[in-house]
Structure 1
Amino acid sequence: MVSQYEIKISGRVQGVGFRYAAQKQARFLRLKGWVENLPDGSVRAVINGDTESCTSFINWCREGSAYSWVEGVELREMKPGALGPFTINY
């Protein structure tokens, strides 16, 4: 089954390689979507893929990358739509 989520990750997640690590993890899990920094210091990602891979990515977001410190993860389930290969938005 295909799932799609919007994820907002807060904490020390900008300037520490979080987006690059998220892209690597998403591509490993064969997810589609994107990740970007937000003006409030958090990171937002939209992912699309099989439910198991989405769950794995969400769990990874809760742990974060090597130099990040995740304080919170907010999820919003979305209606699955067409997304391209996982990218970093600037």
Structure 2
Amino acid sequence: MIRRRVVVSGAVQGVFFRDTCRRTADARDVAGWVRNLPDGTVEAVFEGEPERVRELVEWAHQGPATALVDAVSVTEEAPEGLRGFEIRPTPGGF
């Protein structure tokens, strides 16, 4: 199991990025979460089998068809044993 945190910048909010990310993760049996950040980026955590997590990180570089991704920051983290994939609220309640 591996875990990666990604922060995606560009035109990535208001384009169904989070819902598409959740559906893509569910289809690949990857656990984690995704949320919008107040600065206009999207943050996600992917946990699971290495190849499947790599697929999600690769997907984040493009996102859904309506997104325009400018950059993706990827950070390796220790797995926490997450189960399922959820859309989390934006910090600060936005």
Structure 1 distance, partners of 2:88, 2:80, is 18
Q: Which segments of structure 1 move beyond 4 Å, counting only runs of 4 or more? A: none
Identity %: 36
TM-score (norm 2): 0.92
Q: Report the secondary structure of 1:87's partner residue.
A: strand
TM-score (norm 1): 0.96
Counterpart for residue 26 of structure 2: 27
Q: CA deviation at 1:64?
A: 1.1
Structure 1 distance, partners of 2:79, 2:63, is 25
Q: Report the secondary structure of 1:63's partner residue.
A: coil
Structure 1 distance, partners of 2:27, 2:73, is 22
Q: How many residues align?
A: 89
Gaps of 5+ in 1: none
Structure 2 distance, partners of 1:57, 1:32, is 11
Counterpart for residue 57 of structure 1: 56
Q: CA deviation at 1:80?
A: 1.1
Gaps of 5+ in 2: 90-94
Q: CA deviation at 1:61?
A: 0.6
Q: CA deviation at 1:84?
A: 2.4
